[in-house]
Structure 1
Amino acid sequence: MQRFGTLSFGHYGPLGGGRQLTAGDSMLQAIDLAQGMDDLGVNGAYFRVHHFARQQSSPMPLLAAIAAKTQRIEMGTGVIDMRYENPLYLAEEAAAVDLISDGRLALGVSRGSPETVVRGYEAFGYTGSSDPRGADLAREHFDLFLRAIAGDGLAERDGSSPFGTGASGLQRIEPHSPGLRSRVWWGAGNRDSAEWAGRMGVNLMSSTLLTEADGTPFDLLQAQQIDAFRSAWREAGHAGEPRVSVSRSIFPLTTAEDHMYFGGRQDGDQIGVIDGMRSTFGKTYAAEPDVLVEQLKEDAAIAAADTLMLTIPSQLGVEFNLRVVESFAKHVAPSLGWESTLRSV
């Protein structure tokens, strides 16, 4: 494990007891938490993106704010639903955030997860999908997005325009961030989509669930998915080594408050049906730090990945989550091979 960070679902709304967490609270707390993690030398702050829900839905302003207030931490998404996106506008926004952050954007995209509405992307104006889940639409948008961030010319120049150079040919979108293409990730929920990501030459975000359920433990299924991805990458002839992330719910129990919230949460893999498919969900790890170290060393997918994302209970606030992250950074992560970014400064 070379890197670790947090994956926030960004929930807001009623908290019980008359308390309310607003959308503004959620975003401002995300910025504060990212600043705190940057000071600790944690590697990344990543955000789920969901539409028609009380969660983060427009991540670029949030990521730009984090970029402006931090120095080292990677910020990103896990994942943007490409069914909803204008590919060229997303390419402009992503390039802008990547430039503001000096190349610290990790842009996770995919078909997206199950929604609170029926084919919500159609309300955004994206119709014509022949797939009941819109997978064809997502990949069509993704293809154009990749071309845009690669700097391909996409619109005919107007040689007579007073705002142009008089040149002919095709014009790329602006701004352009030359390294952004290498920092794009595809969120995969099964082996086929992981292999497709490898052939496309993008990094892999292995999902918090897999649409497979044959009795194989979740971590082994995920490790097999990662192996298939890397094999497809090599067979396609891409240069270098791709990055791979996995996410886990992990809580070091070091205080009475930790035990109160998560002491009874240790459980095994779960089997369920999501989006009409029988799926395997990963387990929650909650134990004293020395026990966690031994448990996580046995997790095949964590061993296979270079980046671990801790799913955090963002509704519990900055102070609580920063303490969870700091505890993991001090008492667990170093035993898994991690080194703080502060050591390289």
Structure 2
Amino acid sequence: MVTKIGFLSFGHWQDVPGSQVRTAADALQQSIELAVAAEEVGVEGAYVRVHHFARQLASPFPLLAAMGARTRTIELGTAVIDMRYENPLYMAEDAAAADLISGGRLQLGVSRGSPETALNGSHSFGYLPGEGETDADMARSHTEVFRAAIAGAGVAMSNPQMTGQSRPLAIEPRSPGLPDRIWWGAGTRATAVWTAEQGMNLMSSTLLTEDTGVPFDELQAEQIVMFRDAWQAAGHTREPRVSVSRSILPLIDDETRHYFGVRAQADSQDQVGWLDGGNARFGRSYIGEPDVIAAELAQDAAVQLADTVLVTVPNQLGVEFNARILESIVRDVKPSMG
């Protein structure tokens, strides 16, 4: 049952007519302001997407730290960080610092990442798979090292000339509880099972990189059930969390109808396409009157199994516009969605 509503922003910026986000500075500053506004209207999570070589948000930890310094209760997260690009030990230090600044509110979604603007972009960052490895293998390896580091594993030996002894050293700082707040963005049912076996929370977006012919929400619900069954079989003692992303756009005034009214009919069905070498299924959008959206989400099989719904926002329309949408979702949609 859904207990938390969060927003998810890609942080697009573009100097074009109609955009309220013209520069990178606009995108960063407005992301902070939207987190503040979202907290004020009762939203429980502020999440950002990470993309490289594109006019979108790319370096999450300075942004998350700034959000943490300006807010008090809202969860702050990523959905997701592409681990192909990450130095896991440097990331462990950044993540712990940002989590301590926020008072332990980080919820970090990580994954192998999606197709990117740059060809082999992570290789330009200096990260190449080892012999016999794929980029996906490298992302999982980086994640393993990162998770061990934030949990306090020794990752380097001390210098006897400086310390008088030889012993394993852990990264500093570390933030208690952060290891339980790591999520894996799973694009398939098999990856969801692997996520459970590793002891990470499940993050599932509006896209699955497989298709069995059933509606998106049913395929995603199957993914969630398989994750929870695998979690129980693995013997983990804590309760895992599950989030799903949805495009939810309540039509509440002339401005929202102007921007999204025409899309309501066209985007009300799933889409199937070819992505990254195989069939993929894209989930529908929920656009309409708030009570209609609430009734539709109450029938969404995956939403009903998740504890958190991340609402993708059209960030280029500005903070005030998105805050109004989020306020309507919290006030008019969430109480009736299940």
Q: How does the TM-score come out when normalised to structure 2?
A: 0.96
Residues 131/205 of structure 1: CA separation in 2 closer, same or farther (3 Å cut): farther
Q: Deviations over 1:269-302 (max 9, x none)?
A: 0001111221000001101111111100000000
Aligned residue in 2 for 1:5: 6
Partner-residue secondary structure (3-state), 1:112:
coil
Aligned residue in 1 for 2:215: 217
State whether residues 49 and 77 of structure 1, in contact with CA within 8 Å, keep that contact through their aligned partners in structure 2.
yes
Residues 20/249 of structure 1: CA separation in 2 closer, same or farther (3 Å cut): closer
Q: Deviations over 1:80-139 (max 9, x none)?
A: 000000000000000111111111000100000111111100000011356896101101
Structure 2 residue 275 is the aligned partner of structure 1 residue 277: no
The residue identity in structure 2 corresponding to 1:154 is V
Structure 2: distance between partners of 1:131 and 1:111:
17
Superposition pairs for residues 25-44 of structure 1, below 5 Å? Answer: 25-44=26-45
The residue identity in structure 2 corresponding to 1:71 is R
Residues 65/19 of structure 1: CA separation in 2 closer, same or farther (3 Å cut): closer
Aligned residue in 2 for 1:185: 183
Structure 1: distance between partners of 2:21 and 2:67:
24
State whether residues 157 and 169 of structure 2, in contact with CA within 8 Å, keep that contact through their aligned partners in structure 1.
yes
State whether residues 188 and 206 of structure 1, in contact with CA within 8 Å, keep that contact through their aligned partners in structure 2.
yes
Partner-residue secondary structure (3-state), 2:230:
helix
Partner-residue secondary structure (3-state), 2:331:
helix
Aligned residue in 2 for 1:23: 24
Aligned residue in 1 for 2:72: 71
State whether residues 295 and 336 of structure 2, in contact with CA within 8 Å, keep that contact through their aligned partners in structure 1.
no
- Runs of 4+ residues deviating >4 angstroms: 17-20, 129-133
Structure 1: distance between partners of 2:16 and 2:232:
48
State whether residues 7 and 313 of structure 2, in contact with CA within 8 Å, keep that contact through their aligned partners in structure 1.
yes
State whether residues 203 and 243 of structure 2, in contact with CA within 8 Å, keep that contact through their aligned partners in structure 1.
yes
Partner-residue secondary structure (3-state), 1:16:
coil
Structure 1: distance between partners of 2:276 and 2:203:
19
1:208 to partner: Cα distance: 1.9
Structure 2: distance between partners of 1:134 and 1:18:
35
Structure 1: distance between partners of 2:63 and 2:93:
16
Number of residue pairs matched? 334
Partner-residue secondary structure (3-state), 2:77:
strand
The residue identity in structure 2 corresponding to 1:216 is V
Structure 2: distance between partners of 1:317 and 1:90:
30
Q: CA RMSD in A?
A: 1.5
Partner-residue secondary structure (3-state), 2:15:
strand
The residue identity in structure 2 corresponding to 1:287 is G
State whether residues 265 and 285 of structure 1, in contact with CA within 8 Å, keep that contact through their aligned partners in structure 2.
no
Superposition pairs for residues 134-153 of structure 1, below 5 Å? Answer: 134-153=135-154
Gaps of 5+ in 1: 338-345
Aligned residue in 2 for 1:322: 323
1:159 to partner: Cα distance: 2.5
The residue identity in structure 2 corresponding to 1:15 is V
Structure 1: distance between partners of 2:293 and 2:17:
31
Aligned residue in 2 for 1:95: 96
Residues 100/117 of structure 1: CA separation in 2 closer, same or farther (3 Å cut): same
The residue identity in structure 2 corresponding to 1:142 is T
Residues 298/34 of structure 1: CA separation in 2 closer, same or farther (3 Å cut): same
Partner-residue secondary structure (3-state), 1:13:
coil
Superposition pairs for residues 1-345 of structure 1, below 5 Å? Answer: 1-16=2-17, 21-129=22-130, 134-161=135-162, 164=163, 166-266=164-264, 267-336=268-337
Aligned-residue identity in percent: 56
